[in-house]
Amino acid sequence: MRGDELMIFSGNGNRPLAERIAERLGVPLGSATVGRFPDGEISVKLEQNIRGGDVFVVQSTCPPVNENLMELLIMIDCFRRASARRITAVVPYFGYARQDRKDESRVPISAKLAANLIRTAGADRVLTTDLHSAQIQGFFDIPVDHLYAQPVLLRYFQGLGFSGVVVGPDVGSIKMARSFSKHLESRLAVVDKRRVSDRETVVGFLIGEVEGMDALIVDDMISTGGSIVEAARVVKKKGARDVYLCATHPVFCGEAMRTLSEAPVRQVVVTDTIPLTQPLDRIEVISVAGLLGDAIHRIHMNESVSSLFN
Ligand code: R5P
């Protein structure tokens, strides 16, 4: 084997996406066994020589978050000890991202800790999609390529001929909603949501008009579904016509599937940064494999990644 070969490996966090990325790049998925010892500890065995390789390991740190994060760390350690030339952690969904600051006393900044762990394990670079807050890039002391799923999601809604109003389900999502509304030449509205605990939010009122229009509610992730579905109820009550929900990361934990299936919405559109564990009616999954595959190709070839978005 010559050095510098492009190699794509996968943990168990999102193997279907890793397979799609490898297919896009026209390379076979690297051969490795990522399993468990009888006591539950993670075992990793590379079944091929990777010496001198340009290794990309695809692992979303989605639920089970700690298992997937630990798999990623142990895989990176394994690649380092097997003499990879460069290791890029491809983390389509970066878990713990919502714990990115001390918003009350005596709490951790777990996003920073997760970033430190990935670096310490031996990653040289990180490639990720729609971080909960862009500042998390600075938590890593290594280069981070931060991709946005927006172009692939926009293409879908442009294909539907969507026009109406784009709604942010909370004040934090205004930037994303504004960008969608600009590209879809639609109006903009925001729901005033306040989080009272990690499980409970209180939805206040709507800023903007939705009456008689189709509404597209956009967010970076759907976790329990509470925020986005409450926002859907608010816009529906205010007279919106068809309501679409759109988010990059389908975390879908707890009662999310039930919450979404009972929601007054026409369609839920998400990407495959996280694999779905159950089918859901009215859900459309758009792949980011092309986006990630193209970025990996450019990183490997030392070409600009930002020009993907120009
Ligand atoms: C919050 O800041 C995020 O952007 C999402 O709105 C939130 O994390 C979604 O969580 P859930 O689906 O549990 O309301």
pLDDT in tens, 236-292: 999 999 999 999 999 999 999 999 999 999 999 999 999 998 888 899 999 999 999
Q: Please, what sign has the CA dihedral across residues 284, 156, 162, 170?
A: positive
> Which has more confidence, 196 or 153?
153
Judged against a pLDDT cut of 90, whether residue 308 lies above it is answered with no
Of the pLDDT bands very low, low, confident and very high (cuts 50, 70, 90), residue 2 is low
Q: Is the CB of 225 under 6 A from ligand 1?
A: yes
CA of 86 to the centre of ligand 1 (A): 34
Does residue 236 have an active-site annotation?
no
Which one of 222, 233, 248, 249 would you pick to mutate in the ligand 1 pocket, going by the greatest count of ligand atoms within 8 A of its CB? 222
- Span 62-113, pLDDT tens digits: 999 999 999 999 999 999 999 999 999 999 999 999 999 999 999 999 999 9
Please, what is the average pLDDT of the chain?
95
Say if ligand 1 is within 6 A of residue 99 CB: no
What is the per-residue pLDDT for 272? Answer: 98
- CB-count burial class (<10 Å; 0-12, 13-18, 19+) for 261: middle
The whole model's pTM is what? 0.95
| Substitution candidate for ligand 1 out of 93, 223, 274 with most atoms within 8 A of CB | 223
Pairwise CA distance, residues 239 & 235, whole Å: 6
Distance CA 162, CA 43 (A): 48
Closest-lying ligand 1 atom to the alpha carbon of residue 254 = 13
Helix (H, G, I), strand (E, B) or coil at 118: helix
